[in-house]
């Protein structure tokens, strides 16, 4: 059985993230989306648990996708799985520089760890969670950036509406 792990902050999940999940789910038998808890990252819109709920909602139609959160090193998280492949989405060459470095670090920490890069759909090469947070903060229309199932939740949260659910 082939297993992919797609780690990230997903704050909030975007249509670009969903595109990578959809493609990974078509390639691998199982995909585990892992919301990485990054305490050093300031300005988070959603808690890790809220992000798990959001991703679970937008992937509920995928039989082979599960979502969880983890605090720590990705190389440690994958220890409980047999031969997983890390999935990373690339939007631009600047993403590649960073992701290549992280793949090498992860490989050094765990030599059996492999990373597969999936290039984002052209429609989303400019899209990031940071852009969505900024648009939401200023009341921008999010329908072209965020899955429809969670657009209202993202807008409400950006307006100071408290919990995601």
Q: Are 29 and 63 in contact (CB under 8 A)?
A: no
- Quick: pLDDT tens for 85-132: 999 999 988 889 999 999 999 999 989 899 999 999 999 998 999 999
Respond yes or no: is residue 91 known to be catalytic: yes
Q: Which of 23, 51, 88, 129 is catalytic?
A: 129
Q: 79 pLDDT exceeds 80?
A: yes
Structure tokens at 86: 């890390």
SS percent in the chain: helix, strand, coil, step 5 = 45, 20, 40
What does the pLDDT read at residue 71? 93
Q: For residue 11, how many other CB atoms are within 10 A of its CB?
A: 22
Q: Which of 37, 91, 107, 156 is catalytic?
A: 91
What does the pLDDT read at residue 160? 83
Contacts of 156 (CB under 8 A, 6+ apart): none
- Quick: pLDDT tens for 50-64: 999 999 999 999 999
Q: 163 pLDDT exceeds 70?
A: no
Respond yes or no: is residue 17 known to be catalytic: yes
Respond yes or no: is residue 129 known to be catalytic: yes
Respond yes or no: is residue 165 known to be catalytic: no
What does the pLDDT read at residue 92? 86
Q: Which of 2, 26, 41, 123 is catalytic?
A: 41
Closest CA to 89 of 144, 14, 164: 14
| Confidence band for 28, pLDDT divided at 50, 70 and 90 | very high
What does the pLDDT read at residue 39? 61
Whether the model clears a pTM of 0.85, i.e. scores above it, the answer is yes
- Look at the block and give the residue holding tokens 């390639």: 27
**Could you state, in order of their start, the residue ranges of all structural domains in the chain?**
3-125
What does the pLDDT read at residue 93? 85
Structurally, what CATH architecture does the domain formed by 3-125 represent? Answer: 3-Layer(aba) Sandwich (3.40)
């Amino acid at each position: 059985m082939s297993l992919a792990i797609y780690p990230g902050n997903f704050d909030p999940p975007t249509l670009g993230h969903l595109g990578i999940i959809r493609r990974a789910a078509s390639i691998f038998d199982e995909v585990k989306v892992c919301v990485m808890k990054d305490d050093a990252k300031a300005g988070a819109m959603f808690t890790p648990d809220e992000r798990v709920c959001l991703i679970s909602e937008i992937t509920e139609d995928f039989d082979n996708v599960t979502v969880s959160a983890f605090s720590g090193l990705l190389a440690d998280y994958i220890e409980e799985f047999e031969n997983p492949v890390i999935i990373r989405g690339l939007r631009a060459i600047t993403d590649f520089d960073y992701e290549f470095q992280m793949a090498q670090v992860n490989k050094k920490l765990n030599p059996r760890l492999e990373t597969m890069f999936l290039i984002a759909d052209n429609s989303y090469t400019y899209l990031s969670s940071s852009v969505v947070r900024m648009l939401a903060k200023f009341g921008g229309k999010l329908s072209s950036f965020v899955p429809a199932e969670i657009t209202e939740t993202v807008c409400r949260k950006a307006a100071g509406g408290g919990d995601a659910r």
